[in-house]
Structure 1
């Protein structure tokens, strides 16, 4: 696995964590001594010294070095140095204890053949109020007539690259790198304004913030707007940086809600193979990825309901990191899939594609949704690739009256997995809830029509949608 190493601190960190045999190091001049490079070569590491040196503070030089490292056609994992690091000089710790508390010195991103999408990254966490323009990324929130929930993130990033269907794999890789490598801002004050009241919080070490707002008066149906601002960061007009967050409040016409997984349920990602998942994300974008066949029409039918105008809310709960929020929302819109709040994972970069505690994360997010809508029943949709059936069965155990039906896309033909699913189907059915193992969206839609969840006339559109999708396979 190739690594582009720009500083001494990055070298020390990667050498301590990566097995030398088979690794490929592209080093800035002066980062390692001749003796150290000789020892690495004796241990089976291919060591190359950059010419010319790449200043980690200059994106153009880093990109050029990366292109040189990519000459063999491989994926290269890159160290991003701190703003004050000299590329050819060993980096030593000079910060005081107080400075160390304000700056996160190391964020590890290591890529191993097991598929951990990560790399060693030396980054400085920027403290709010130090000048410059920050970016606020508000995520889609949700709520009810008496309470709203909003989450977002503050980044030291000017803007994310806009992607297009004609983008090359190289362009897609750089855009993904930018999102995964964006600098979070810790300790930044954030204010929320709604119905004449203001609340304030501070971003955590990941740059995240969240608000639970109890409005002064009743909240209407549909999408609401909450104003957000950074009082300590000024825009070009001299005013605080401001954005608006959209918050969904289900209308009174809604008969049920939908909670859906994304990976291998809506969007093909091959999540059970982390390396293939990482390669798919690096090679494609929101314009070139495709949903599973018939998903768009099926989800539109569910939101419309049997009455055709129910406007049933849809929530997406996924183990994908919040870094991918923007591309996922863009994907939903481009594919005509109903957009709703996405509840993703807060992950350090070492764990982006090493999705541990998958079940605990999803179960916690579903519990959060159900707490806002205790009187609403839900349709749960997932796949058999990982833990969705087990997670949804646990939801039924805890909230048997809150789940109308579970649809599981069968993506794992392993007989042992099928046997385990049969046991779950029997267990769930004992509560009066159905767990349906569906080969495709048409099968699930036919069952939904028979259950009165969608209008029977919508079956034709799901079949048509599936036929159109048959003409092109998901991008890999």
Structure 2
């Protein structure tokens, strides 16, 4: 790790400090944005972000309509509060934590006794703000879980072409976003067959879009689960973050945090999911149950890459286990996965 931040990060930090002073004088208030977390009976991963936001005086009906029809750019109307002091409150246990330079909180804390299931944890800010965070505690006997990409896997965004990505992220209204057919049904069936199993969403999308994605998932019946997104800003070593590295690191963290689980890895063939999943299945085969790749249509491939076909893989991984299935939608993937992910087949492989 370099001793001094990259110049872009230093510029970003200074702009954040100036913005915090200016917006504080303008009446913007501290707010904690909660992100769904996960954990075990031993530890919990708490995810959130502390930001400054303008106060809004909308009625209940107006607020609901604003959320449904708001343009995507409004998801980015906040300012990070670096170094904010926050207390994680779990029953009688109080754990002080500090936000990073982007206002993000990503900490692992000891589980003081929460049993398996869904729970709410309170986050209290030093400025008087507070929020509730949903956390799924995964039982020690759970050995199946789903890792899912978001873009073009559950939500049609036509990434990564820059113009289309900007259109979908900043201009398009939330109601206009389309779900990939059959994916909600597939996830509901899989999790119904494996009670207590988690679904974790990993994406290169920005954390700012988290509230929109969460509302989208709820509207379309996609099961609730933790989302591991990223920050589009500069890093400590460069101008841009690597989406591939983010996904690779997230998979390694899941293998470490939840060592008993063998994952069904679900993605699409529009970006790097096939290579990443094959790499992970090769390096850590004990953590992968199967791989499911949604096949984009020629039109979607053209918008994503300028080519009406899947981009050839740069690497050739040959995992010994973890079979891969492909289909254009959730229903097709479900047919291919019926035998691979059935509870009886799972028990036979343990």
* TM more than 0.5: yes
Q: Secondary structure at the match of 2:168?
A: helix
Match of 1:55 in 2: none
Measured in 1, the distance between the counterparts of 2:243 and 2:11 equals 30
Q: What is the 5 A alignment of 1:253-292?
A: 254-292=142-180
Instruction: Specify whether residues 159 and 312 from structure 1 end up closer, same or farther in structure 2 by C-alpha distance, changes over 3 A only.
Output: farther
Correspondence for 1:361: 246
SS of the aligned residue for 2:260 comes to coil
Partner of 1:382: 267
User: Is the CA contact 1:104–1:124 (under 8 Å) kept in the aligned structure 2?
Assistant: no
2:46 to 150, 159, 173: 150
Q: Residue 192 of structure 2: which of 293, 298, 304 is its match?
A: 304
CA distance in 1, matches of 2:55, 2:28: 13
**Counterparts of 2:331 and 2:165 in 1: how far apart (Å)?**
26
2:108 equivalent in structure 1: 212
Equivalences, count: 318
SS at match of 1:124: helix
2:255 to 370, 373, 376: 370
2:318 counterpart (424, 427, 451)? 427
Deviation string 1:425-444 (CA, Å, 9 cap, x unpaired) is x723xx12211222222221
CA contact (8 A) 1:203 1:209 kept: yes
Deviations 1:192-248 (A, max 9, x none): 1224222212222211123211133x43011122221113x1xxxxxx322221111
- Matches of 1:165 and 1:249, distance apart in 2: 33
User: 1 CA distance for matches of 2:197 and 2:92?
Assistant: 29
Match of 1:228?
123
2: CA distance, partners of 1:252 / 1:286: 38
Match of 2:34 in 1: 138
Distance 1:102 1:402, change over 3 A: closer
Q: How much has 1:321 moved relative to structure 2? A: 0.6
SS in 2 for 1:272: coil
Measured after TM superposition, the shift of residue 127 of structure 1 is 9.9
TM-score by length of 2: 0.80
Change (3 A) 1:443 1:126: same
1:400 aligns with 2:293: no
Q: 1:167 to 1:200 in 2, by over 3 A?
A: closer
* Secondary structure at the counterpart of residue 107 of structure 2: strand
CA contact (8 A) 1:187 1:202 kept: yes
Within-5 A mapping of 1:79-90: none
State the alpha-carbon separation in 1 of the partners of residues 49 and 313 from structure 2. 39
Q: Contact 1:319 / 1:355 at 8 angstroms: preserved in 2?
A: no
The equivalences for 1:446-457 within 5 A come to 446-453=335-342
**Structure 2 equivalent of residue 327 of structure 1:** 212
Deviation per residue, 1:7-26 (Å, 9 max, x gap) = xxxxxxxxxxxxxxxxxxxx
Paired with 2:210 and 2:55, the residues of 1 have a C-alpha distance of 14
Q: 1:316 is matched with which residue? A: 201
SS in 2 for 1:287: helix
CA distance in 2, matches of 1:380, 1:166: 31
Could you tell me how far apart the structure 2 residues matched to 1:331 and 1:415 are?
A: 28
- How far apart, in 1, do the equivalents of 2:170 and 2:343 lie? 37
Query: 1:252 deviation in Å?
Result: 5.9
Higher relative contact order (CA 8 A, sep 6+): 2
Tell me, which stretches of 5 or more residues in structure 2 are unaligned?
A: 1-9, 345-350
Distance (Å, rounded) in 2 between the aligned partners of 1:226 and 1:310? 22
Alpha carbons of structure 1 residues 300 and 124: separation in structure 2 relative to 1, 3 Å: same
- Which structure 2 residues correspond to residues 96-135 of structure 1 after superposition, within 5 A? 104-106=13-15, 124-126=19-21, 133-135=29-31
Separation in structure 1 between the aligned mates of residue 36 and residue 47 of structure 2, nearest angstrom? 8
Equivalent-residue separation in structure 2 for 1:380 and 1:103 (angstroms): 35
